[in-house]
Amino acid sequence: MSTRPLTPLTGDPTQRDIDAAMAEADQVPPPDPHHPNRDYPPYRSSALRHPKQAPLPVVDPEAVELTGPVFGVTDVSTLDNDLTLGQTGEPAGQRITITGRVLDRTGRPLAGQLVEVWQANAAGRYAHDLDQHPAPLDPNFTGFGRCLTDADGEYNFTTIRPGAYPWRNHLNAWRPAHIHFSLFGTAFTQRMVTQMYFPGDPLFPYDPVLRSVTDQSARERLVARYDHDLSLPEWTLGYRWDIVLGGPSRTLFEDR
């Protein structure tokens, strides 16, 4: 297994520089075949987003864990999974439905799991003070939702398809449309975060975040599939995306 260092990116790399760096990085197998490399030079901020030292042992595990996640001031309601509600008007963009099942490594459905999502609006802008993308904010869309999986491990969200947005990783850098997913186990220390993408996005080959998952089959499992049976006439387009927490068909999660 090769352990040669990868060429670092400096200055303001062009798409040609990024393409060359991704081609180089894709040839280096990760040290752990079950996870992508934590440091992926074409994704420039990855160097800042992973630990560089071994984890410290926890002396008192109960001191850092809760018996379960805290859902906020109120419990999760039946309306929290519809991101198009709660404002004075209708949000702009294409309304979509996303559903799927949360499964363990054996394919067993996991009930009562807290699933949270956050995303950009249809113009590709987050409702967050740090987002300075000069796209319009949508006063009728916050981009945040949550739900609990049912007895079959199924979650369901109604939302707006997000737009692509620039992210300044390199010259003319744009993120493909995606939705962030967060899942909790029985404690905050078990939180896992990942991203769901949409099929056929032309930005896939140019995105170092998605390309950092060098295993092609694992990368494909991050892409939802269009499900015409989930689409509602004159209302929403339907997408299905299952989340598997372990085993050979697992969903890849971000390092935290």
Active site residues: 126, 165, 175, 178, 180
Give the helix ranges, DSSP H, for the chain. 15-26, 61-64, 208-211, 216-220
CB of 149 closer than 8 Å to CB of 98: no
Residue 235: exposure state from Cβ atoms within 10 A (0-12, 13-18, ≥19) = exposed
CB of 164 closer than 8 Å to CB of 175: yes
* Selection from 223, 146, 222, 225 nearest residue 182 by Cα: 146
Query: How far is Cα 153 from Cα 71, in angstroms, rounded to an integer?
Result: 18
* Selection from 189, 181, 195, 196 nearest residue 114 by Cα: 181
Query: How far is Cα 37 from Cα 32, in angstroms, rounded to an integer?
Result: 8
